[in-house]
Chain A
Amino acid sequence: MKLLFEKSVAGRASSILPVCDVPVVDLADNCKRQRPLRLPELSENDISRHYSQLERRAHGVNNGFYPLGSCTMKYNPRVNEAVAALPGFTDIHPLQPAHTVQGALEALSLAEKYLCAITGMDAMTFQPAAGAHGELTGVLLIKKYHEARGDTARVKIIVPDSAHGTNPATAAMAAMSVVNIPSGPDGCVDLDKLRAAVGPDTAGLMLTNPNTLGIFEKDILEITKIVHDAGGLVYYDGANPNAVMGVIRPGDMGFDCVHLNLHKTFSTPHGGGGPGSGAVGCKDFLAPYLPKPHVGVKDDAYCFRGDCPESIGKVKSFYGNFLVVLRALAYITTLGRESVADAAKNAVLNANYMMKRLSECYSVANTGLCMHEFVLTLEKEAKEKHITAMDIAKALLDRGIHPPTMYFPLIVHEALMVEPTETEGKETLDEAADIFIDIYRQAMADPESVHSFPLTTPVGRPDEVAAARNPILRYTFE
């Protein structure tokens, strides 16, 4: 389909603003841009149709099953959208006097209180805009903690080899060197390897639990103890708490700080890649280091506390993705004490049910019960029949299912990571399982056929090598 620029007609425009009602002022010539501003010239109808056409060439949770592992593509309740669109929230300036934004401050304070109760933390900031941003904030809290104690030798962050790529990348941004430790045969942290890795140079451990194989780290209390005994802190990567929210708390497992992806676990939409919210919670002893300002109460009114001399500073302007936090607050308020844990348990049930059904033909990397997600491996099929994880994923596209996460975690070859979430009913899981199994059988019967999928999508498999070799990153005007 055409680009906006290819639909542009010189001289076409909409009438949006009134005529300027004050004398028109011009800039000094030496300040003015000389370069033409080549934005598209379109009618409102052109724009409406263009984006409707683009929408038909996209896939969201509203279009169908989206079991994208580690991304928790649960249903995004529309009441959350409705409340986040209230003018009392959208039309307030971030620098209004505190007494004119008491509702906004109360919302942030409530979200902090509830999410601390769910994670077992004592304080929380909403300044980070996404998970990776939360990770950076969390690791900077750890860095500041050691720095404040004058312990400058702690410059290493330990991450398991099953970790998300953001963990080592985050450690590097905090000028920490990364110590990778191999997982044990069961996919969990190898305690002996961990014991050998910790020492007086350990700043901390970054871990997600359940881990990226979808397995609950059974030795979690021993893991956090080993790191604490060595003087390090333990960071909870919040990619995966949908399995445990309301059931078991990171704070009780021994984690010192956590980040949450409100856009995963707490139902706010992903928007095609953002905006999210990477809220960071911590125990009391780390709270003085949280980004400033922090919501507090003074003389019975909510306020921003600016007096945070030990804070790491700011990681973003203002207070974070406020409207995203509101959506999460609406979600938690809806679920409440009873249903938060129910959501987690049903997510785990759905994953186990689907894993069991798929294990009829697929090899599963997990052993025993999984948590909210599980990992399939096509290693054998790839070796013997050249049927790859990519082939299965692309075949799913023709059946209206968004594929699982491919080729992650790195410790599993030809991996497909499946996370159904709790908002899918049994019949959806059954239909999807039938399709997965049908594709597998078809692939085994005729291995050549699967390399050509997908056939029904707007485009076939794009040439990614050519895209990277000869980057075309913008439209070129004639």
Chain B
Amino acid sequence: MGHYLPSTDAQRRDMLDMLGLSGLDDLYAAAPAHLILKDGPHIPPGKSELEVRRDMAALAAKNTVFPSVFRGAGAYRHYIPAIVSSVTAKETFLTAYTPYQAEVSQGVLQSIFEYQTMICELTGMDVSNASVYDGASAAAEAVAMCRDKKRTKALVSAAAHPDVIETIRTYCWGAGAEMALIPAENGSTDMKALTDMLDVGVSCVYIQQPNYFGVIEDADAIGEAAHAAGAKYIMGINPIAAALLKTPGECGADVAVGEGQPLGMPLAFGGPYLGFMAATSALMRKLPGRIVGQTADAAGRRAFVLTLQAREQHIRREKASSNICSNQALCAMTAAAYMAAMGPGGLRDVARQCLSKAHYLAGALQKLGFGLVYQKEYFHEFVTICPCDSAALLAYLESRGVLGGLPVGDGILWCATEMNSKADMDVLAGLIDLYLKGGARA
């Protein structure tokens, strides 16, 4: 019953008359008549706005929103300043298409130019694109960028996020290119194995910083090894950690990518998120996707446009660097508004609080017998052993409104951010203590 059709029956009649048609069905004369659906598709009857809102609210109510979350593993709960959603809810930003018509799209284009600048600042790289789908597809696109006729094999750290590894694998298989995993040793990329695997066929080395287990990799050494063998170096980074950690630029990376979700996007069951992607000037023309550049109009006024389009599918067709066109523009604007709201000091504070709280949480857990599996420098995630059955413990925590860490192998991958107060962490420790002492089972 619901619809968004403004024309009245009388107006429709007028239009049909003008076209010399007797009814709407006459418009489909070219389609095979026997295939036309007589009664519409087999879906339920339509509903009013109020009913739809009730239905969807009922679905939302079947999900549990945990007040206390200690799970990250690629999706992180951070505080989103109120100004961020107020910016991205603006109707024109919401309903505009890709800024093809620069004269009426300066607002969108400038926001992307500002975003590109911020990503360059965060990563220490020279150029950024306007975004890709997410961190995993950004990594896969980066691998494709580095491939040439002679060098086709990608080496990917086994300590990267499993979804990132899987996505790179799919893209490589599609392209008919090889991908090999660099084993992880004691929670980080195995340097010895990497050195053995590097040969003249290797196009690039991909690592994640901090890696899937939260460990801070020796990113300089890996980059040096890759470059010594003539391969390109891709770093997948966490954008919050980037406020404190040595930048990909400082580590010698050729391409920096990452999952931009922590920059103001809610968990949202996995999306929409944001793939950010930046590179050295040398690789500028190999970057996939939209890029905004600065120029001027005839009157000399500063103007922004989509540029370097000779890389893209609508010009190059099968020779394009990628097929991507739509990206995650509004998510890029979210990230820019988030970084503007936090400012350099604020973003460093978020990062420092993540780091500090993770260490406080690790200390509390260690006292309860959850020893750290890897004795290495870490950022806001870490893996512990679990002195009891982890599934049963996590189910118990869940019943107390706490989403615990993620089971990884025999251990648990924990995460803390600025959202986890000391009080919440003390409650968690108390619950675990009670559970271990058997007091919780009754």
Contact: A460 with B299, CB < 8 Å? yes
Give min CB distance, B268 to chain A, whole Å. 5
Contact: B94 with A132, CB < 8 Å? no
Centre residue among A27, A32, A341, A462 by max chain B CB count within 10 A: A462
CB-defined contacts of B249 to chain A, threshold 8 Å? 35
Q: List 22 A-B contacts (CB under 8 A).
A: A16-B346, A22-B360, A24-B356, A27-B377, A33-B250, A51-B90, A58-B106, A63-B92, A92-B267, A168-B313, A174-B174, A272-B111, A273-B326, A313-B167, A314-B170, A317-B164, A321-B271, A334-B46, A336-B46, A339-B1, A459-B106, A474-B128
Sample of 4 further A-B pairs with CB below 8 A, known A34-B246, A62-B92: A20-B357, A322-B269, A341-B40, A463-B295
Determine if B222 is an interface residue (Cβ-Cβ < 8 Å): no
Contact: B110 with A57, CB < 8 Å? yes
Contact: B163 with A246, CB < 8 Å? no
Contact: A218 with B99, CB < 8 Å? no
Determine if A394 is an interface residue (Cβ-Cβ < 8 Å): yes
Bound CA–CA A438/B164 (angstroms) = 54
Residue of B nearest to A48 (CB): B83
Interface size counted on chain A using CB atoms at 8 A: 199
Residue of B nearest to A106 (CB): B59
Contact: A369 with B293, CB < 8 Å? no
Determine if A445 is an interface residue (Cβ-Cβ < 8 Å): no
Contact: A248 with B28, CB < 8 Å? yes
CB-defined contacts of A422 to chain B, threshold 8 Å? 4-5
Set B2, B16, B94, B104: member contacting A335, Cβ < 8 A: B2
Contact: B101 with A4, CB < 8 Å? no
Determine if A276 is an interface residue (Cβ-Cβ < 8 Å): yes
Contact: B24 with A345, CB < 8 Å? yes
Contact: B329 with A274, CB < 8 Å? yes
Give min CB distance, B312 to chain A, whole Å. 8
CB-defined contacts of A428 to chain B, threshold 8 Å? 6
B48-56, B381-389, B429-437 - interface stretch: B48-56
CB-defined contacts of B163 to chain A, threshold 8 Å? 314, 316-318
Write the B275-308 contact mask toward A (1 if CB under 8 angstroms, else 0): 0000000001000001111111111011111011
Bound CA–CA A339/B47 (angstroms) = 10
Within 8 A of A (CB), among B113-138: 113-114, 116-118, 120-122, 124, 126-128, 130-131, 133-137
CB-defined contacts of A397 to chain B, threshold 8 Å? 101, 103-104
Residue of B nearest to A136 (CB): B323
Set B12, B46, B90, B91: member contacting A346, Cβ < 8 A: B12
Determine if A247 is an interface residue (Cβ-Cβ < 8 Å): yes
B63-71, B181-189, B194-202, B226-234 - interface stretch: B63-71
Contact: A471 with B293, CB < 8 Å? yes
Closest 5 CB pairs of A and B: A336-B46, A318-B270, A88-B60, A271-B330, A103-B62
Write the A306-344 contact mask toward B (1 if CB under 8 angstroms, else 0): 000000111111111111101001101111111111110
Write the A27-57 contact mask toward B (1 if CB under 8 angstroms, else 0): 1101111111111111010011011111111
Determine if B371 is an interface residue (Cβ-Cβ < 8 Å): no
CB-defined contacts of A270 to chain B, threshold 8 Å? 95-98, 326
CB-defined contacts of B75 to chain A, threshold 8 Å? 93-95, 318
Write the B33-55 contact mask toward A (1 if CB under 8 angstroms, else 0): 00111011111111111001101
Write the A154-191 contact mask toward B (1 if CB under 8 angstroms, else 0): 00000000001110111111110010000000000000
Bound CA–CA A114/B45 (angstroms) = 11
Determine if A252 is an interface residue (Cβ-Cβ < 8 Å): yes
Bound CA–CA A102/B59 (angstroms) = 8
Determine if A82 is an interface residue (Cβ-Cβ < 8 Å): yes
Contact: B273 with A317, CB < 8 Å? yes
Residue of B nearest to A357 (CB): B18
Write the A62-86 contact mask toward B (1 if CB under 8 angstroms, else 0): 1100101001011111010111001
Residue of B nearest to A188 (CB): B30
* Known A-B contacts A16-B341, A47-B341; A33 and B247 likewise in contact (beta carbons under 8 Å): yes
Set B2, B170, B298, B336: member contacting A461, Cβ < 8 A: B298
Give min CB distance, B232 to chain A, whole Å. 19
Set A54, A82, A339, A461: member contacting B107, Cβ < 8 A: A54
Residue of A nearest to B271 (CB): A321
Range class of the B interface residue count = 35 or more
Set A37, A53, A174, A276: member contacting B326, Cβ < 8 A: A276
Bound CA–CA A318/B30 (angstroms) = 41
* Known A-B contacts A87-B60, A272-B99, A332-B43; A17 and B90 likewise in contact (beta carbons under 8 Å): no
CB-defined contacts of B156 to chain A, threshold 8 Å? none
Contact: A263 with B326, CB < 8 Å? yes
Within 8 A of A (CB), among B334-377: 336-337, 339-350, 352-353, 355-357, 359-360, 377
Contact: A92 with B269, CB < 8 Å? yes
Give min CB distance, B397 to chain A, whole Å. 11
Bound CA–CA A138/B277 (angstroms) = 25
Bound CA–CA A338/B3 (angstroms) = 9
Give min CB distance, B26 to chain A, whole Å. 8
Centre residue among B4, B19, B120 by max chain A CB count within 10 A: B4
Determine if A457 is an interface residue (Cβ-Cβ < 8 Å): yes
Set B57, B295, B360: member contacting A83, Cβ < 8 A: B57
Residue of B nearest to A393 (CB): B101
Contact: A317 with B103, CB < 8 Å? no
Determine if B392 is an interface residue (Cβ-Cβ < 8 Å): no
Contact: A22 with B90, CB < 8 Å? no
Give min CB distance, B171 to chain A, whole Å. 8
Set A249, A252, A273, A471: member contacting B308, Cβ < 8 A: A471
Residue of B nearest to A408 (CB): B314
* Known A-B contacts A39-B342, A336-B1, A422-B5; A349 and B245 likewise in contact (beta carbons under 8 Å): no
Bound CA–CA A100/B303 (angstroms) = 49
Give min CB distance, B339 to chain A, whole Å. 5
Contact: A20 with B352, CB < 8 Å? yes
CB-defined contacts of B328 to chain A, threshold 8 Å? 129, 271, 274-275
Write the A243-279 contact mask toward B (1 if CB under 8 angstroms, else 0): 0101111001100000001010001011111111000
Contact: B18 with A356, CB < 8 Å? yes
Contact: A37 with B268, CB < 8 Å? no
Bound CA–CA A53/B120 (angstroms) = 24
Contact: B46 with A17, CB < 8 Å? no
Contact: B19 with A83, CB < 8 Å? no
CB-defined contacts of B120 to chain A, threshold 8 Å? 474
* Known A-B contacts A40-B343, A272-B98; A28 and B174 likewise in contact (beta carbons under 8 Å): no
Give min CB distance, A74 to chain B, whole Å. 7
Contact: B18 with A32, CB < 8 Å? no
Contact: A77 with B4, CB < 8 Å? yes
Centre residue among B164, B297, B316 by max chain A CB count within 10 A: B297
Set B284, B320, B324, B349: member contacting A17, Cβ < 8 A: B349
Contact: B30 with A5, CB < 8 Å? no
Contact: A473 with B341, CB < 8 Å? no
Contact: B63 with A101, CB < 8 Å? yes
Set A37, A54, A246: member contacting B41, Cβ < 8 A: A246
Determine if A382 is an interface residue (Cβ-Cβ < 8 Å): no
